[in-house]
Amino acid sequence: MAESHETGKQGEAIAAAYLSDKGWQILETNWHSNHREADIIARHGDLLVIVEVKTRSTDFFGSPEEFVSRQKQRRLAKAANHYILMSGLDLEVRFDIISIVMQLPRPKLKHIEDAFYPH
């Protein structure tokens, strides 16, 4: 498995644990359906939160959250709509980003709530 793929999987696990520790209900991790995907789908109170996790080994080329493109935002919105239709949930949706830099002695995590509003 490629090192960057492993880094991404580690980041997703760290992010899910972080949200769970805050009392969020993790509904799905690494969710895929019909070419749609979301790293984490969680429930936080009356919100359905779609979380994009961006993990990098360094922030030399910029913060990980800077790499969530408009195209990725649109794909996440489509994934959210598809998930809502499939699950039957009737909740307001919010899009968050969790940015992780895998530095020693421990990863640096940044949680950006309401990170974007897809068009």
Q: Are 39 and 15 in contact (CB under 8 A)?
A: yes
pLDDT over 80 (residue 1): no
Per residue in 87-100, pLDDT (tens digit) is 999 999 999 999 99
* Opening angle at CA 33, ends 77 and 85, nearest 5: 60
pLDDT at 74: 94
**What does the pLDDT average to over 67-92?**
94
pLDDT at 3: 64
Mean pLDDT of 63-87: 94
Boundaries of every domain in the chain: 3-112
108-116 mean pLDDT:
96
pTM: 0.92
Architecture per CATH, domain 3-112, reads as 3-Layer(aba) Sandwich (3.40)
Per-residue pLDDT for 67 more than 80? yes
